[in-house]
Amino acid sequence: MKKVQWFWISVLGSVILRFILFYSSKNLNLSSRPEIATPLTSLRRLAEGYWLKQSSMSPYSGSMYHGSPLLLTLLGPLTVTRIEGQPDHLLCGFVFVIADVICAMLIRATGETLQAAYSSRLKLLGLHHLSQNSGEVLPSGDLAALVYLWNPFTIVACIGLSTSAIENLMVVLSLYGACKRLAPLAAFGWVMATHLSLYPAILLIPVILLFGYGLDAPPRKLFLQRKKFEVDNSSSSDNNRLEEGVRNQLSMLNVFSWKSVSHFLFWTLLWSSYVLVLCSIYLRQHGGLQELFKRTYGFILTIPDLSPNIGVFWYFFAEVFDFFRNFFLIVFHGNILLMMVPLALRLNHRPCFLAFVYIVISSMLKSYPSVGDSALYLGLLGLFAYELRDMQFSFFLISGYVGASLLSPVMHNLWIWRGTGNANFYFGTAITYACFQIILVVESVSAMLNHDRMLKKLSTAKLVKT
């Protein structure tokens, strides 16, 4: 009971902290920092787009705004309303705070579902003692939600009025829907997330796996072993009804349920056509859907804006010769796609973790990354706190994250304001940051695989013993 109380107090605390910062961070200029506001997520650009639309021009004219038209209708009116005596964009900030809190709640609910499912699976394998004893520490769902809410990256992205809070909400919504097997919700989340920032499109694989195979579980081979063992046992001795039930459950686990997947795909189709229709209505007089695709997805994929950010693309594409540009665009974007299939094959029994790994990789290799993306995957990392508790280099990683995120504004200042540094200084921190993200992915995946190996060892030992 006390734990629950603490959880809500800290949620409230994080909200209050955000409001305090809204009122006191005026001279920090967070909303114009390159680490927070990318051309895709900056609210200032959104306000500009809204203004253009209001004066009956295309919101995309002048290469200012590159987001979705739906965000314009949602946030646009809020950017122009000002309350006397309050900071600008307070209403938008309010929306982002709500988005953050909802996101955290969804992460928490997802965590609870995952944990319940995981311990029931472990029970099937006869490894009861491995499931988390919730009395000792926070359940992983609560932990993940708190990590998400209190993460400085999330707070800074929220104060900096970056729309990545809404993108993150959509991603989490689709994961939540898939975990709860709510096809319409999952489809909505996925469609919206893809519509807003394109990269979540690769989450289609984990979501389909979630619908097909169900939630994260120990490797499927173990269940097959167990089932074989049970069958062998039952053939020799009498089979009672309880064992029958277990066996049924075990066999159910390995069936890919095409029905729910097709259900999900149907809803996806429905939602995406709905979104497209809405967009085309909104942009009817300004070039329609073709303009939309060119200005949003085209902008993401061809990287015309080379202003510095924490990613690694801007520097490279500022340097590369023009006639190699297309080739390297394909290579760089192919990088993400290249890693998808092997990871999906190896981690198909853990779709949520697979989604986490995809999100880390895409936020590392996307064309306009910001700290808001890191906030999402660091929050999701909390969901697997139990499985990843033996992760190596955790201290090193967190120190690295702290160091890189503090060094980045300093280097930017040295380059832009003092003029004593140059672009290499800033890019150096971007490289460091990318390295730490790579280490995070490698270490978390290897910790997860080690966890699986340990489960396999224990389960076979148990079978041999009996």
Binding site for other proteins (CB under 8 A): 6, 27-29, 129-130, 133, 136-137, 342-343, 345-346, 389-392, 394-396, 398-399, 402-403, 406-407, 409-411, 413-414, 417-420, 442, 445-446, 449, 454, 458
* Nearer to other proteins (CB atom), residue 247 or residue 456: 456
- DSSP assignment, residue 218? S
* Nearer to other proteins (CB atom), residue 294 or residue 389: 389
End-to-end CA distance of the chain: 39
* Nearer to other proteins (CB atom), residue 254 or residue 399: 399
Q: At 234, list the tokens.
A: 């039952």
Neighbour tally for 230: CB within 10 Å: 18
Specify whether the CB–CB gap between 234 and 248 falls below 8 A.
Answer: no
* Nearer to other proteins (CB atom), residue 238 or residue 342: 342
* Nearer to other proteins (CB atom), residue 130 or residue 145: 130
As a whole number of angstroms, the distance between CA 296 and CA 188 comes to: 19
CB of residue 450 to other proteins, shortest distance in Å = 9
As a whole number of angstroms, the distance between CA 386 and CA 131 comes to: 9
Q: At 172, list the tokens.
A: 């989490």
CB of residue 394 to other proteins, shortest distance in Å = 5
* Nearer to other proteins (CB atom), residue 331 or residue 398: 398
CB of residue 163 to other proteins, shortest distance in Å = 23
3-state secondary structure of 325: helix
As a whole number of angstroms, the distance between CA 437 and CA 312 comes to: 12
Q: Which of 46, 24, 53 lies closest to 92, judged by CA?
A: 46
As a whole number of angstroms, the distance between CA 346 and CA 149 comes to: 31
* Nearer to other proteins (CB atom), residue 281 or residue 442: 442
CB of residue 237 to other proteins, shortest distance in Å = 30
Q: Which of 433, 412, 373 lies closest to 169, judged by CA?
A: 373
CB of residue 432 to other proteins, shortest distance in Å = 11
Q: Which of 457, 112, 60, 88 lies closest to 296, judged by CA?
A: 60
* Nearer to other proteins (CB atom), residue 267 or residue 415: 415
* Nearer to other proteins (CB atom), residue 272 or residue 413: 413
As a whole number of angstroms, the distance between CA 193 and CA 171 comes to: 6
How buried is residue 359: exposed, middle or buried, by Cβ count under 10 Å (0-12/13-18/19+)? buried
Q: Which of 335, 82, 118, 124 lies closest to 247, judged by CA?
A: 124
Q: Which of 5, 143, 31, 15 lies closest to 372, judged by CA?
A: 31
CB of residue 446 to other proteins, shortest distance in Å = 5
What's the CA dihedral at 400, 405, 411, 416 to 10 degrees? 160
The neighbouring-strand residues paired with 42 are 162
CB of residue 339 to other proteins, shortest distance in Å = 9
Q: At 81, list the tokens.
A: 């309303």
* Nearer to other proteins (CB atom), residue 307 or residue 399: 399
CB of residue 257 to other proteins, shortest distance in Å = 26
CB of residue 411 to other proteins, shortest distance in Å = 7
Q: At 364, list the tokens.
A: 């590392």
CB of residue 231 to other proteins, shortest distance in Å = 28
Backbone angles phi and psi of 127, in degrees to 5: -110, 55
* Nearer to other proteins (CB atom), residue 269 or residue 338: 338
CB of residue 435 to other proteins, shortest distance in Å = 13
